[in-house]
Chain A
Amino acid sequence: MSPTAHMNIKRVFPRTPTILLGVLALSCIGVLIADFWPFLQRGLAGQVILSPDETDFDQILFHYSTLPRLAMAFLCGAGLALAGAAIQTVLRNPLASPTTLGVGAGVEFALTIFILIAPASFAIFQEAFALAGGMIALGAVYLIAAKRGNATLWLILAGMIVNLLLQSGTQVLLLFNEQYLQSVFMWGAGDLAQNGWDATLFILPRVAIGMIAVLALSRPLDLLALGDETASSLGAKVTVLRLLILGFAVFITASVISAAGMIGFVGLAVPAALRIAGLTRSRDLMIYSVFTGGFALLFIDFMVRQFNGLGGDILPTGAATALFGAPFIILILRKARIIPGNQSDDQHSDQQIISKTGLSILLTVILIVGVVFSLFTSLDGNGFAVLGWTGPWGDSSLDIFTGRAERTFAAMICGAALAVSGTLIQRVGRNPLASPEITGVSSATALAIIIALAIFGVGQRADLMLVGAFGGIISLIVLLALCRKFNHAPHYMLLNGLALTAILGAIVRIVLTRSGTQTSMLLSWLAGTTYFTNMDEVMIVAGVTGVLLIVAIALRRPLELASLGTDQSVSLGLGISTFQFAMMLVAAILAAAATLLVGPLSFVGLMAPHLARVAGYRLAGGHLLGSVLIGVNVMMVAEWLARNILYPQQLPTGLIAALIGTSYFLILAARKR
């Protein structure tokens, strides 16, 4: 199979893009008339644009707030859509965009660090810093996916990994700077409010330069779209051109995000929609994207403005845009045929260093030693402390011991549940980058809990657990309904899950900007913490995990078949879909259970099965057990680190696990080069 993925886009109507653009343009004229109306009535429209009457506040407000906001909306929308079109063409990937490939999250992370840490005298470096953040994130995504020939699906999944990591990194930075939550978090949610023309004048030249550069390069882009071989035979210096175009796309994205915060999905949805509507030549696509993107954001922002001030609060444009845009992913999925890429070579290329039995025993020994170590030792600010050694083994020692046991076991059970879940998803989906988080079930569970807590004021942990489980079940049903048509291709389930995750992420953001008092507690829970767990919950989740693990092991034979060479059976129409669905269901239940225990993030479900297979656990049964052993070990280590490295401050366990996981993939990618 060729390592490059192709997009098969049907031509619907040749004129559809023009109609789409026309409708949007008309809507925007409507928006302008609505905004200008009070001044048109008085015949002041010209005056209010050029030189407003300084004594009339309505005119001042319009000239310095509404008008620049309209301009900003158009520029940001146009810039992001163009950046998206460029990235999609260069990577030949209909799901690529500044947000899905981690560029947005990278810029946001860099800027958050900058705002919180950099002294005022460093202000001139802000832009370079943001640009570097975006580039590094994109580089990381590219590196992770590179050895799979950057196939569509792998690039997107790698983007998801980097995105989730960077977003949780940003959230943790905010957690440690709670007082700045209001300003930084709001900016992170994408706010287009303006006070004057400064921001517009900041981004106008940058977006313009970026646009001209990308458009100038768009002729060679058409060659690129033909594939590497064709392009290089035609003499274009493919790599340089690609990097140049990607660089300008990131530059535009970084400028927009610096000025207006995270505005997602324009960059993904607009060019993808235009493609589906029938635009194939990159030059046309770019020019249409500029205008369609600009008009679309202008219109969405107008809608958002109508809800501003509701309940004394702001509705952030960026998060709202994601709500509008995410359904497009589902639409795109239905229109564009996506090839999941070739199967990983890991299975055959790695040498078995030690026997599986030896490895299992080693892992078990590490586990036992590790549990003893993490229960008896800690860093208490003065240095290394052993329980019952430095202090008297008194009554409180036992309590400390049980407290630690509760959290350590919670982390370990969560590791086991996610490891089983991930193994099932990776085997059934035949994709080593699939992770339980991207089924969307974790996000739905988290969202249900957040809404119950922040909007309905449910504070009791037991009630919240019930609500969360309910949310997880609903999302499962939605996911299954979405995937009905695609039962022959499990990777569609992953992509639909990805869309679901994105939609839910946007809602979480909106709720969080409005939830006030509990935001910090929710942020730490969202990043994955054992802080709030208790032994009863640990026992219940342990029971569920145990039963489902046994079920999975009992079904290891069909699982083996499902993960090996089913291409033929699929092409012959011999669906093994019922079994695949059942396994995905089990995986989703496990992911939801783990989320209930420690929150939605960890990556153990991604890393543990991957590591287990690389380490030599090839057959389904062994793979399950191996990844459980690894998952439990990783979470145990993460939990100890989370509690102790910044004592008495505590980090979310999920974040440490995610850091371990992403580093693993980056090291793996770097070594393979």
Chain B
Amino acid sequence: MKILRLFVSCLAVLGVLGALPVFLAGRASAEPIVIDHERGTLTLDHPAKRVAVTNWAFTETVMALGLDPVAIADPVDYREWVAKPDLPENFTDIGQRGSPNLEALRAAKPDLILISQELEMAYENLSDIAPVMVLSVYNDGNVAFDTASTMMRKVAKAIGREAEGEAYLKQVDEKLVEYGARVRAVLGDGNKITIASFYSETNIGVFGAPSLPGSVLKRMDVPMSYDGPVSKWGFARGGLEILAPLAKTTLVYTNPIPDVIYQKVWSSPMWKVMDFVRNKRVYELPVVWAYGGVASGLRFARLLAESLESGPVQ
């Protein structure tokens, strides 16, 4: 009997001990979540489960964390300009990123709305619907990949997926190192890389260090050529002559480019005499959102490595 009693009490103790972590965890989640953002401090009693995203950097970040947003802005253009990851099956289309539809947003019953400073004028109106977090990846002098990582951590915290967030960021770091090595292998020693976008045949953007491509290249330990002045979005703009001082480097241009502009650039005499064109060091990048978050950064790195490995544009 004594033994039986001892056995039972042992079981009870074990049971209590076993239940303790669950109990503590339960208590922990009841603690409010507090996050600093650009318009003050956000306090959430529970992790947000129904997140509304008002730009594509948030869309891909929330999805990378394993949660499907309930309301998404500009889903149709997303498929053309961001491409991956695929959008969830069910969500509410809230219209343009510049003015997400308040009624559609309300109907989606979000418990968290993510906006950047572009929508700051609507902060009060959006706050009536659900708690709002203002997080800008792109702002004066911000290093895009770093602020995108910070943004991801804050979003992860708000939706109670901090562990997933850290795991994702760690995995991204490893992948970036791997892709960096692959890019350097193709690039060879001493060669630098230039990332450019063709807005038109005479209007060209060159990404600088603060931009998403620029800051990802730094993480990949791939040398980047342009180090001049840049705009808020982290790129410089000019005519084709802006590429002239960078002609000795390897050029990678982004997509999508309208066919007409593509043809005009390639038939331009100035373009033809550029060293990277003559010596076939021009590469094409498939569609990737250059103003996105960490996920776009990772996608950029992967596509860059694949593009360089598959050879220059003929």
Which residues of A are at the interface with B, using a C-beta cutoff of 8 A? 54, 57, 60-61, 64-65, 115, 120, 123, 175-176, 178-179, 182-183, 186-187, 191, 193-196, 198, 308-314, 378, 380-381, 396, 399-400, 403-404, 453, 457, 459-461, 464, 514-518, 520-521, 523-525, 529, 531-532, 534, 643, 647-650
A178 to B116, CA, bound (A): 16
Decide if B203 touches A179 in the complex (CB within 8 Å). Answer: no
Counting chain A CB atoms within 10 Å of each CB, which of B77, B94, B239 scores highest? B239
Partner of A60, one of B98, B99, B231, B269: B269
CB-CB under 8 A from B99, the residues of chain A are: 521, 524, 529, 531, 650
Chain A contacts for B92, CB-based, 8 A: 648
Bound-complex Cα distance A35 to B98 (A): 43
A650 touching B121, Cβ below 8 Å: no
- Can you give 28 contacting A-B residue pairs, CB < 8 Å? A54-B273, A57-B244, A61-B241, A61-B270, A176-B96, A182-B197, A182-B237, A187-B200, A191-B203, A195-B201, A195-B239, A195-B268, A195-B269, A195-B271, A198-B264, A310-B229, A312-B228, A313-B236, A380-B103, A380-B107, A461-B121, A521-B118, A524-B96, A531-B122, A532-B121, A532-B125, A643-B103, A647-B101
**Which B residues, 186 to 205, have Cβ-Cβ distances below 8 Å to chain A?**
197, 199-203, 205
**Proximity string of chain B (261-272) to chain A, C-beta cutoff 8 Å, 1 when within and 0 when not:** 100110011110
Known A-B contacts A61-B241, A399-B129, A403-B106; A183 and B199 likewise in contact (beta carbons under 8 Å)? yes
Q: Indicate whether B233 reaches chain A with its CB closer than 8 angstroms.
A: yes
Q: Which of B125, B139, B270 contacts A64 (CB 8 A)?
A: B270
Interface residues of B in 235-279 (CB under 8 A from A): 235-242, 244, 247, 258-261, 264-265, 268-271, 273
Taking a contact as CB atoms under 8 Å apart, the answer to whether B125 and A195 are in contact is: no
Asked if A196 and B269 sit within 8 Å, CB to CB, the answer is yes
Q: Of all chain B residues, which has the CB nearest A649?
A: B95
Chain B: CB-nearest residue to A260: B202
Number of A-B contacts (CB under 8 A): 181
B283 to chain A, nearest CB (A): 21
Chain A residue numbers with a CB within 8 Å of B202 are 191, 193-195
Q: Complex formed: what's the CA distance from A643 to B233 in Å?
A: 30
A115 / chain B contacts, CB cutoff of 8 Å = 258
Complex interface: chain B residues within 8 A of A647 (CB): 95, 101, 104
Q: A196-B269, A309-B229 are in contact. List 6 more A-B contacts (CB 8 A).
A: A54-B273, A64-B268, A65-B241, A380-B103, A460-B120, A521-B121
Chain B residue numbers with a CB within 8 Å of A649 are 95-96, 101
The CA of A589 and the CA of B106, in the complex, are separated in Å by: 36
Q: For the complex, count residues of B whose C-beta is within 8 A of A.
A: 69
- The reply to whether A396 and B121 form a contact with Cβ atoms under 8 Å apart is no
Q: Across the interface, do B128 and A403 meet the contact criterion of CB distance under 8 Å? A: yes
For the complex, is B119 an interface residue (Cβ under 8 Å from A)? yes
Q: What is the CA–CA distance of A523 and B205 in the complex, to the nearest angstrom?
A: 22
B7 at the interface (CB under 8 A from A): no
Closest CB of chain A to B257's CB: distance in Å?
10
Q: A399-B129, A520-B118 are in contact. Are A193 and B98 (CB under 8 A)?
A: no
* Chain A residues, CB < 8 A from B271: 195
Given contacts A514-B231, A520-B118, contact A120 B240 (CB under 8 A): no
Closest to A126 in B: B260
Q: Give chain A residues whose Cβ lies under 8 Å from the Cβ of B307.
A: none
Contacting residues, chain A, for B247 (C-beta < 8 A): 57
